[in-house]
Structure 1
């Protein structure tokens, strides 16, 4: 298992009656939850507001900007800043006891925790939902470890000094990351979002009464017949078949995409993914980086990474760049975040 710096924090439940109202209440009050009403169409849900501590620094514009720029419409949405809040990402969660929804708020520059509004169908899912929020935001990382290591490289040192605390945006679902990675092969961020939104609108189940949908399960994608797949997936034939085959393998449970904290092995996962038709290094590394908590994935063929490398005087072709990046182990995922920040892109700033 790769070395991973941890903050060693446990979340605290905070009393709060509503996810979008002022939360300036004293921390010593006992935890309070809100039971949301039951309806004929939707089961009852429960809201808790949680503080998710982290080890500073945290570069919010990079972390939340990436999540906002890549958000799948209908599954995720960006909540704009107000006079009281700096913006937030709202998204659905697939949980054992029924759908959930989380809202993770952009922290203040001096904050040491992120506020999360967690709504679950089954209260027993609250600890899992909190854990998934932490993974989504890479909050268990001690950023001093990658920052110190990458600062030893003369090319990366100025980038780290300018923007310390970059983190790797994660995901609450390995299945979702894998399917979205195939949808994102050789297309722009906007096109990948469009493909994923179309799939979610057709196959994603409603996330209670939230107005959001769950990202489609691998089983639902695998069940598409040829005509349905052709109609729903506006992809080249080979990529469409790659997606359907990956969905079948995921639904069968033969891929081990467990998070490293749950015993997952990124090297094994990459090998399993690369054995599948249509899955190359970019897709495999994207999955382990975003879904498994792999600190050492490197996207050598990524167009944004290559463009940044050329701008910095690094090798501008994938193979020599991959060799050059070996010196950045075991923090190559963090190096990718710094390279993506070199050139202007929507992932590097908060919306609006």
Structure 2
């Protein structure tokens, strides 16, 4: 006489232990392969089937094991963030955006800070991707602007998306931040306030964003009959300290500028400090504009007029493109730079 078959677990029974992919398939009435397709965001699953599987996953609180998936597919379900950026808030905001886009996907994030000036930069990058067996990589400025990095990804066969101020690759590999538009916004604002002696503190020359922000700034000034004087164009390092140093240099000139556009908020904060040290009031004696609109901009005194770049949103979009997900229909304008006017800008003093 055959032994009676034990009854299969129902949702309540499964919830008392860690559910696996077999449980999801059985309770949803589909194959394990179909469940795997839903987990991996494959488009080849009917909408009603996807909804049924996702409902079971949500009910059981199922989360795929990245290590087990990596063994099964011969690759890790890991996405790498590669950066060489002196601004820690940019890196944090980008990470938050990537995590937003990865939510519910079963992927995990690993980060790789690097130094493009290092003689082992390319070797270290290749080693990082191969050692981790990454599914894909998001490259941010200034690494994203280095064609050698993209070439390595192609050679390894690793999916990648580049975040950069201009298009440098095929559309599927690019998120363009359009920094030139932000520079135009800053110039237009200061010109409309009546400033004519306007200075610019750029970021490092090794960053494409520095050139794009300056180009847009100069274009918009020239359209209004103004120009950026050579003496008023100085290079910073995208750091607070460099903002102080360049700010001191500019404010020691005679005549000094009545407005300074800094290439990021960290340098703008340094310019504000240099103005205080020089005994100048902002915005009565000097207007200051930054770029990024990170948290520091609204916490300074006076609060900083700046060009907002939606870094977190860009990170979300980058990782979703990397995973092959379709755009969710959000307004593309939400990803473009836009001016945020606060307390650090006003018309020039009467002596201008």
Q: Provide TM-score, normalisation by structure 1.
A: 0.27
Structure showing greater Rg = 2
- More helix by proportion, 1 or 2? 2
The structure showing larger relative contact order (alpha-carbon pairs under 8 Å, at least 6 residues apart) is 1
